[in-house]
């Protein structure tokens, strides 16, 4: 359980250190506004708010925290020990009220009790706009229509619903879907968000990517025709695409047909990066033309792309001049054409960046070796 500790008096730091000793994950903010923003993002399960008698409006933060997340536990720690003070704190939205001085064993016991019962505090139903989610129903309902989602997609959608209308940070998603006691990778988060976005788009809902900040759930988009994810779209014809904007990007953009007739679109940045003109590239098989290499193999890449709808990773390509370059590739399924998937591939050259990183690591290792020799 991750606890957010905030307040306007000096015990905040002491409380944070004590909770760390108890074994909890802790985030501390002495600034209430910053703490409120963190709380709204859903990054912490419990808020512990230190309230002092000297505060002008001591319980105003409690009310603000309760308004942002109506169902999450809030605990007040205060030097205001009168009955009327405790009642005011609970009326403001606190679930528990601990007075100073307190016994560390009592604080631990109260937080452990919250940890045991936190799961029970989630509402049976979560309603947000046209969206309805029930705790015991694996499916969700949008505008009265039942939609099938995976357990991970539903868990992510619950995070979006709880944090709405605020931004959900990528780091919060990574922690929620941690793997092997560590946060999920950026690629894993992007794949999960992409899959949920594809699931919601036909129903007029979208997930907006705010670069460098996170994601936001958005309603009010025009509802699309009920086209299942594995069926084609009528406009999957390269002659009807508006690709002019793709010519202004610095990234190499390639659109190709999986297990089909090869490259259908090759922008000017791809010409500059790889040395092949558009006429030379069109119709060629991408991975053959560029002699693609990656540890897991091209076949496995296409298998994962078909399964998840997106693939993100590093690829080794060979240019027309025979130079091998390392690119950060982002591949996503667009639609189907003649029962074959169309893929948009966006590649960015990271050869120099990786070389610089390798040089820094090598220099760091050499310094470590020198230190070890001197100490030996």
3-class secondary structure, 252: strand
246 and 284 housed in the same domain: yes
Within-domain flag for 226: no
Q: In the prediction, which pLDDT does 209 show?
A: 80
Q: In the prediction, which pLDDT does 254 show?
A: 92
Q: Which of 53, 45, 54, 61 is nearest to 7 (CA)?
A: 61
Within-domain flag for 174: yes
259 and 288 housed in the same domain: yes
3-class secondary structure, 307: helix
331 and 270 housed in the same domain: yes
The DSSP line for 121-187 is GS-SEEEETTEEEETT-SSEEETTEEE---HHHHHHHHHHHHHTTSPEEHHHHHHHT-BTTBPPPHH
With a CB cutoff of 8 Å and minimum separation 6, the contacts of 254 are: 263, 265, 266, 267, 270, 281, 286, 344, 345, 347
284 and 178 housed in the same domain: no
Q: Are 48 and 36 in contact (CB under 8 A)?
A: no
Mean pLDDT per 10-residue segment, the chain (376 residues): 78 78 80 83 84 86 86 88 91 90 86 69 68 82 88 85 76 73 74 85 81 76 38 42 67 83 87 92 91 82 74 90 92 67 87 82 80 75
Q: Which of 49, 36, 41, 42 is nearest to 5 (CA)?
A: 49
174 and 266 housed in the same domain: no
| CA triple 343-344-347, angle to 5 deg | 130
185 and 254 housed in the same domain: no
Helices and strands, counts by H and E, the chain = 13, 17
265 and 339 housed in the same domain: yes
Token pair in block for residue 131: 């969206």
Beta-strand pair 324-337/310-318:
antiparallel
CATH at residue 117:
3.40.50.2300
Q: In the prediction, which pLDDT does 225 show?
A: 38
Provide the 10 A C-beta neighbour count for residue 77.
Answer: 24
259 and 211 housed in the same domain: no
Q: In the prediction, which pLDDT does 243 show?
A: 60
Distance CA 239, CA 259 (A): 20
Domain edge (last residue) among 190, 218, 246? 218
Dihedral over alpha carbons 359, 363, 364, 369 (to 10 degrees): 140
314 and 274 housed in the same domain: yes
Within-domain flag for 376: no
- Whether pTM exceeds 0.85: no
Q: Which of 108, 95, 98, 96 is nearest to 19 (CA)?
A: 108
Within-domain flag for 200: yes
Within-domain flag for 341: yes
Taking every pair of C-alpha atoms in the chain, what is the biggest distance, in angstroms?
Answer: 82
Token pair in block for residue 260: 């089909």
116 and 158 housed in the same domain: no
3-class secondary structure, 256: strand
Q: Are 265 and 364 in contact (CB under 8 A)?
A: no
Task: Please count the residues of the chain.
Answer: 376
Within-domain flag for 331: yes
Q: Which residue has the tokens 């790889």?
A: 274
Number of domains in the chain: 3
Domain edge (last residue) among 54, 86, 121? 121
Q: In the prediction, which pLDDT does 333 show?
A: 79
Within-domain flag for 230: no
Q: Which residues form the domain of 322? A: 238-354
Distance CA 211, CA 293 (A): 29
Q: In the prediction, which pLDDT does 120 show?
A: 42
Distance CA 213, CA 152 (A): 22
Q: Are 13 and 6 in contact (CB under 8 A)?
A: no
CATH at residue 275:
3.30.450.20
Within-domain flag for 247: yes
116 and 166 housed in the same domain: no
18 and 116 housed in the same domain: yes
CATH at residue 201:
1.10.10.10
Distance CA 359, CA 365 (A): 10
């Amino acid at each position: 359980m991750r606890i957010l500790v905030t307040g306007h008096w000096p015990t905040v730091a002491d409380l944070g250190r004590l909770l760390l000793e108890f074994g909890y994950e802790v985030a501390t903010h002495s600034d209430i506004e910053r703490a409120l923003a963190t709380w709204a993002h859903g990054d912490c399960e419990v808020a512990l708010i230190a309230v002092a008698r000297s505060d002008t409006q001591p319980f105003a933060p409690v009310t603000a925290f309760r308004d942002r997340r109506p169902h999450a536990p809030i605990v007040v720690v205060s030097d205001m020990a009168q009955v009327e003070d405790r009642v005011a704190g609970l009326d403001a939205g606190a679930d528990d009220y601990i007075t100073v001085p307190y016994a560390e064993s009592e604080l631990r016991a109260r937080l452990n009790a919250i940890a045991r019962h936190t799961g029970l505090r989630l509402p049976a139903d979560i309603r947000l706009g046209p969206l309805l989610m029930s705790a015991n129903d694996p499916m969700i309902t949008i505008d009265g229509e039942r939609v099938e989602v995976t357990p991970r997609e539903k868990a992510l959608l619950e995070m979006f619903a709880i944090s709405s209308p605020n931004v959900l940070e990528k780091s919060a998603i990574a922690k929620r879907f941690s793997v092997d006691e560590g946060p999920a990778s950026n690629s894993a988060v992007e794949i999960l968000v992409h899959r949920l976005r594809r699931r919601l788009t036909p129903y007029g809902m979208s997930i907006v990517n705010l670069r460098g900040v996170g994601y936001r759930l958005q309603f009010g988009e025009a509802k699309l025709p009920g086209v299942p994810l594995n069926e084609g779209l009528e406009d999957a014809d390269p002659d009807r695409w508006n690709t002019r904007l793709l010519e202004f990007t610095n990234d190499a953009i390639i659109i190709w047909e999986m297990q089909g007739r090869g490259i259908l679109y090759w922008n000017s940045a791809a010409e500059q990066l790889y040395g092949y003109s558009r006429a030379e590239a069109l119709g060629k098989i991408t991975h053959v033309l560029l002699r693609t290499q990656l540890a897991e193999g091209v076949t496995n890449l296409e298998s994962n792309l078909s399964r998840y709808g997106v693939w993100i990773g590093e690829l080794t390509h060979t240019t027309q001049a025979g130079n091998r370059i390392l690119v950060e590739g982002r591949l996503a399924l667009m639609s189907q054409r003649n029962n074959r998937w169309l893929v948009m591939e966006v590649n960015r050259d990271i050869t120099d960046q990786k070389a610089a990183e390798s040089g820094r690591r090598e220099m760091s290792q050499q310094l470590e070796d020198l230190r070890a020799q001197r100490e030996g």
